[in-house]
A and B are shown apart, each in its own frame.
Chain A
Amino acid sequence: MGILEDLAALGKDVADPAAVADGIRLVAADPAGRMKLIQEWEAATGRPFPPALTHDLTAPGPVPP
């Protein structure tokens, strides 16, 4: 299904970037996979995803334990 359906299934408000970020964290654990989801959300909604949240989701950073 599309990203909006994925997020809705997770009970996330698809119009709220913070909720979208929570959902994306659950769908993909790796930065590259998350970036694809962000781009898909942007294409589906016609809205830019907040850069700060994009950074939080896709920064390589330390791998979770």
Chain B
Amino acid sequence: MKPELGRSQSPAWRGVPPHMARRDLALWYRFLDRHGSEYQAIFYDVALGDGTDPGPDQLPEYRFGFIRLTRLRADAIAVRPAGWTLFEVRPAAGAGALGAIVTYRALWEADPPDKRPLEAILITDTIKPELRPIYAGQDVRILLV
């Protein structure tokens, strides 16, 4: 199933995206202050994967709502003419953030919106040195902010 991107936001927007924790938000704002202008638009809380279908006996509104609620959610995906960028925002990132990024990227690439490439970036404030090569091995860029 294709991602459900939702409405876009300008990189200048400083509201509170759905499901982004406050401590994640501080990192995200720092990232936007430094790099936001590199992107055309940002989609938040992007739904990925198939979700769970409660079945055809349900009312369509309920069925669509349940599927939407049970899909996985990427923190943010930005777009520019050259391609897409998937962001995972995680203070003191560990191995779990890598699992999230790799999973979201795989779901995106299973049915992407177009042929433009997807770059994956972890935004964090600190990460253990031994994890850096593992992230690099999965082609995930680490951005300290």
Residues 37-64 of B, flagged 1 when their CB comes within 8 A of A and 0 if not, give 0001100000100100100100011011
Q: Are A62 and B41 in contact (CB under 8 A)?
A: no
For the side of the interface on B, what is the size category?
20 to 34
Known: A63-B53, A65-B50. A26 touches B113 (CB 8 A): yes
Interface centre among B6, B7, B10 (most CB of A within 10 A): B7
B50 (CB) vs chain A CBs: closest residue: A65
Known: A6-B41, A63-B64. A11 touches B7 (CB 8 A): no
Q: Are A28 and B4 in contact (CB under 8 A)?
A: yes
Q: Are B6 and A63 in contact (CB under 8 A)?
A: no
A-B contact count (CB 8 A): 61
| Minimum Cβ distance to chain B for residue A28 (Å) | 7
For the side of the interface on A, what is the size category?
20 to 34
B9 CB–A CB distance under 8 Å: yes
Interface of B toward A, CB cutoff 8 Å:
1-10, 40-41, 47, 50, 53, 56, 60-61, 63-65, 67-68, 79, 81, 113-114, 116
